[in-house]
Structure 1
Amino acid sequence: MMQIVRSAAHAVWALACLLMLSLASPAWAADAVVATKTAADAAIGKKCLNCHGPEDQPGIYTEWKNSPHAANNVDCYDCHKAKPGEPGAFEHKGALIHVVVTPKDCASCHQTEVAQQQRSHHAKAGNILASVDNLLGEVIGGPAAVNAGCKQCHGSTVEVDAKGKPTPQTWPNTGIGRKNVDGSLGSCSACHARHAFSSAQARTPETCGKCHMGPDHPQIEIYNESKHGILYNANLDKMNLNAKSWVAGVDYTAAPTCATCHMGATKDQKGTHDVGERISWTLRPAISSKINMIRLANGDEFDQPESAPLPKVGDAVKGSTVTEVLTWEQRRDKMKTVCATCHTSNTVDGHYKQFDDVVDLYNDKYAKPIAAVMKELEDKGYLTHQPMDAKIKWTWFEIWHHEGRRARHGASMNGPDYTWWHGIYEVSQHTYFKWVPELKEVVKAKDGNEKFADELLAKYFKPIAGHDWFFNGMGKEQIDKVRKGYEERYGAGSMK
């Protein structure tokens, strides 16, 4: 959430954090800053504009001048002011400031929004850099690609030099899970970019699409394919994006955006900056599971698979105490409340039935049996326990991390092409005609024959009805049905 500046010369930038407006957008809250501003602080704020004003930096100045911050007497120094001994603090033109303004600074005005953001999936996005994704980037690609690629979405760990200024290796950074020098997580301007800090920008799907795009998480492409995206683009002038109050069904009805469903307010539900609160499946890992949410007294939260026993409020967990438990059903009900703004219960329940069926199909037919085979190959010495050191591991990675995710996300967001052609179709093709041949190659390389591979397929694949065609071929009835439809369209004898 914070687009980063390169130097202290961009001091006004920091105001971005302060517009962590809830998407239900109550009146903008500057009281905390304004009430505590001294005459000396106000004088320093005016001094900032001598260098960062309309003559020298008109882009920064004009955006700030037209923002709610300026309208509410919040200036550069209100956000960049530092205390002695703070990490990243340094003296600039007679004032102690810091360049890296963080959610902790934003919380002086936007306490509720920051508390929600700090516990959310967004704040933890930097943790992905310890995963196999980062291994691919750092080791196989190279650190420069990760720094300018992965970390610009997920966030880097910001470092400062001996003078208190952020290092060029870690700055600028727009990562939504950025690890800041004061221990806070995230960057507000990833969604509310400097220096206008527009709530309208944060409500547009394009803002989310800056990170949620591409082969492994194409949410923006799926959204644009969906009826929701089509309606949004056709009715942009009716979306009331700049409104202070932005309640679905009250302030706009033409279409939902990403923010509407995952963060926005309805007549019956407040907005939130906790973007995972309404998510009932995790669609990221190799095998999906429904997830319960456990909230803790220390302000953190975590997801727990449906299969794990639920703690109770008051239980000691992860060095803290459980304060709230949201089951996957409750999380789904929160999302259904948004859906109900425009849809009947039959439509909403039907969507979730179709969505669940696709995830179950992917899990049960492909992911679980392939994962079981891969485990046996490793446990019995056909593969090492090292990641990404065999062709079959790359194939499996792309089946779940690319095609499998696209299928699941496509079903979740009403994107039929991503559910099938970019999803389950490619999962099927790569399972049968890439992964299975590679399985046989791996076994033959060790044993000199394919016997163990055939045994694994018989054990894990053959009992699943959906794989019957692969072992026994399509039945005559299936082929005749296809032939009839094909020849009705293209003429007798057209299907050979």
Structure 2
Amino acid sequence: MSNGNIVATLLLVAAGTLAFAPAGGAAGTKKAPLKLSQEGKACLGCHESQSPSFVKDWRESRHAAKGVDCYSCHRAEPTDVDAMKHYGYTIAVLVTPKDCGTCHPREVKEMTGSHHAKAGDILNSLDNYLGEVVGGPEAATVGCVQCHGAKVKVLANGKLDTESWPNTGIGRINPDGSKGSCSACHTRHSFSVAQARQPEACGKCHLGPDHPQMEIYNESKHGILYVAKKEQLNLDRRSWVVGKDYTAAPTCATCHMGATADQPVTHDVGTRLSWTLRPPISKKLANADQNRAAMKDVCSSCHSAPFVDGHYKQFDELVELYDSKFATPAAGIMKELAQRGLIKPVEFDKKLDWTYFELWHHEGRRARHGAAMSGPDYAWWHGIYDVSKNFYTEFLPEVKELAGPAVYDELVQKYLAPDLRHEWYTKGMSKEQLDRIKKYYQERYGEKVQ
């Protein structure tokens, strides 16, 4: 925009001749003008033609109705690290949780203490080693950090470095020191609560071979009901209490964040989790009982207590099966191989490193999340089936090839032999075991097994 056009625009604003009414009304319908700041009106004077789509999104938002305009969120102090001069105003391109916290302090406080805000910690993890070193930083930029978040760098003129921007990763590390990105869930510039309550909002990051929560949800009864009853969920209501404002079709937000008759909405997505299923061996959280009670409260809005208790019993037993039968012995074997100098930590220079990584990072997580979210196909075929197949036919044979028969036999005796569940592999199936299996099937299905 030329200087002449800028001056003309500002003169029009000052004279009050620009109409800033919400879009979408019928022709000729008069609507009260939005109560905007002079700075905000100046912003619209340019962006109305330059960026019409996000202006329309904003016009239809609750922010617009409340008089929260462009300048309300993007204004900056000259001393801010990402401050930049923009047609006579001092602004920042990036709107951070610290900025949002001016009006939404409780939500930002909860989010800042959540797992979401810590998602950027992956920058110091094995996953990041794979992305940055084994794969390449360019892949990590458009892959890993777009979900987990990047440390956003600022250039000397206040503009954002394209090596780290654009980025709306949920654990983004912002120039002002805050962590997170509200727009990861409440997409700008409408910042719709209805959109954030839908499972698709979570599906940007929670899917794929290592944590397919979106796919598991879609195959679960919850996901099936969501598709059937989406129009009845009242997603845009201010009050959104399960059992009161909507029923029978929970979304991710319902279970992990949503309000019930007895607890308020929360932006800390970890307060209802009893296990952490991310690491090689699952761990119960320190406040697992309290968290589980909070989640059970959500479940009880739609299910009876025996149903909820039965689900958790089955879930816990699957996690403990994975942990004790596969994860603990595999981790012990890998640790001993490293101590003997047969493998190097975090090198991925041997096939065994990749096999073990996928055993827990992909297959093991799929099994555990499948059980947690009532996704049977992921609990078994994409989960424990893959875990067991690759444990017995890839992981252990690769250990034997790398360590040699003598060391391998020693490790098997230490980590597998004490557990009778591995006996079929270490000793072979006995006639008595085969007979027990046949009897089981005959009693369960009433059929003779050949």
Shared fold by TM > 0.5?
yes
**1:339 counterpart = 2:294:** no
Q: Identify the match of residue 228 of structure 2 among 210, 234, 240.
A: 234
**1:139 counterpart = 2:133:** yes
**1:399 counterpart = 2:354:** no
Aligned residues of 2:255 and 2:298 also touching (Cα < 8 A): yes
Aligned residues of 1:373 and 1:456 also touching (Cα < 8 A): yes
Instruction: Determine which structure has more spread, i.e. the larger CA radius of gyration.
Output: 2
Matches of 1:377 and 1:366, distance apart in 2: 17
**1:476 counterpart = 2:431:** yes
Q: Residue type of the partner of 1:359? A: V
Matched position secondary structure for 1:426: helix
Q: Residue type of the partner of 1:421? A: W
Matches of 1:363 and 1:277, distance apart in 2: 23
Provide Cα deviations, 1:309-350, integer angstroms capped at 9, x if missing partner.
xxxxxxxxxxxxxxxxxx210011011110010111111111
Matches of 1:458 and 1:267, distance apart in 2: 54
Provide Cα deviations, 1:25-65, integer angstroms capped at 9, x if missing partner.
xxxxxxxxxxxxxx9x8111110011011x33221111111
Shift of 1:363: 0.6
Matches of 1:492 and 1:405, distance apart in 2: 36
Shift of 1:477: 5.0
Matches of 1:133 and 1:248, distance apart in 2: 36
Q: Which has the higher strand share?
A: 1
Which residues of 2 match residues 323-334 of structure 1 at below 5 A? 327-334=287-294
Computed over aligned residues only, the root mean square deviation of the Cα atoms, in angstroms, reads 1.9
Match of 2:317 in 1: 357
Shift of 1:482: 6.4
Match of 1:28 in 2: none
**1:50 counterpart = 2:45:** yes
Match of 2:379 in 1: 419
Provide Cα deviations, 1:279-320, integer angstroms capped at 9, x if missing partner.
11000000011012xxxxxxxxxxxxxxxxxxxxxxxxxxxx
Which residues of 2 match residues 222-301 of structure 1 at below 5 A? 222-292=216-286
Shift of 1:240: 0.9
Match of 1:457 in 2: 412
Matched position secondary structure for 1:247: coil
**1:110 counterpart = 2:104:** yes
Q: Residue type of the partner of 2:305? A: S
Provide Cα deviations, 1:364-390, integer angstroms capped at 9, x if missing partner.
001111111111111122223343222
Match of 2:30 in 1: none
Normalising to structure 2: TM-score of the pair?
Answer: 0.89
Matches of 2:244 and 2:346, distance apart in 1: 54
Shift of 1:478: 4.9
Structure 2 residue runs of 5 or longer lacking an equivalent are 1-34
Provide Cα deviations, 1:238-293, integer angstroms capped at 9, x if missing partner.
1111111101111000211110010000000011000111111000000011012x
Matches of 1:283 and 1:106, distance apart in 2: 31
Question: How many residue pairs were aligned?
Answer: 413
Q: Residue type of the partner of 1:283? A: L
Provide Cα deviations, 1:75-122, integer angstroms capped at 9, x if missing partner.
100101101211110111111101011000001100000000111110
Structure 1 residue runs of 5 or longer lacking an equivalent are 1-38, 293-326, 445-449
Shift of 1:158: 0.5
Q: Say which structure, 1 or 2, has more relative contact order (CA 8 Å, 6+ apart).
A: 1
Aligned residues of 2:172 and 2:180 also touching (Cα < 8 A): yes
Match of 1:64 in 2: 58
Q: Residue type of the partner of 1:453? A: Y
Aligned residues of 2:248 and 2:302 also touching (Cα < 8 A): no
Matches of 2:344 and 2:189, distance apart in 1: 51
